[in-house]
Amino acid sequence: MNSTQVSSLSTLLIACLFMICGCSEQSMEKLTPVNQPPLTFVEGDSTWTKEKEILPVMEVELATIVNHRPSLTDNPRMTGNPVLYSTSDGRIRFYWLTIGIGEMEWLYVEFNEGGFNTSDEGTGWEDTSG
């Protein structure tokens, strides 16, 4: 096999790899999660805003609730670090999110007036912020 044949064969192999694997941005979009948690969302009369960080005092509050309700940790959705949302009237929610390709599962624990209020879980994220 001479150098011209090797070069032609190499070019053909590279072209086949691009055709098989795809190299367009469109094929990469298929691999990225389509659901991301919003910066804000509206639920009822409340606007929830994503916070940049969880303060240590909030971590203590969450640990207290988990100690009093250990069954919360039995939920497989309660893994990893939570995302914090708050309202202007002082309510806070810790969301545990599992973001996959085209789907998001969530679980939240809400605090209101200094104590545990409620928890809920579901899939998807209905954007009601307008």
Bridge partner list, 112: 115
Domain boundaries defined on the chain: 1-30, 32-123
Cα(11)–Cα(108) distance, rounded to whole angstroms?
A: 53
pLDDT of the residue at 66: 81
Look up residue 108 and give its two tokens.
């939240």
Other Cβ atoms within 10 Å of 56 Cβ, number: 8
For the chain (130 residues), the mean pLDDT of every run of 10, in chain order, is 53 48 47 67 92 87 82 82 90 86 81 74 61
pLDDT of the residue at 73: 81
pLDDT of the residue at 24: 47
* Residues 6 or more apart whose Cβ sits within 8 Å of residue 112: 90, 91
Max distance between CA atoms of the chain, in angstroms, equals 80
**What is the side-by-side order of every strand in the sheet holding 115-123?**
40-43, 46-50, 83-86, 92-100, 103-112, 115-123
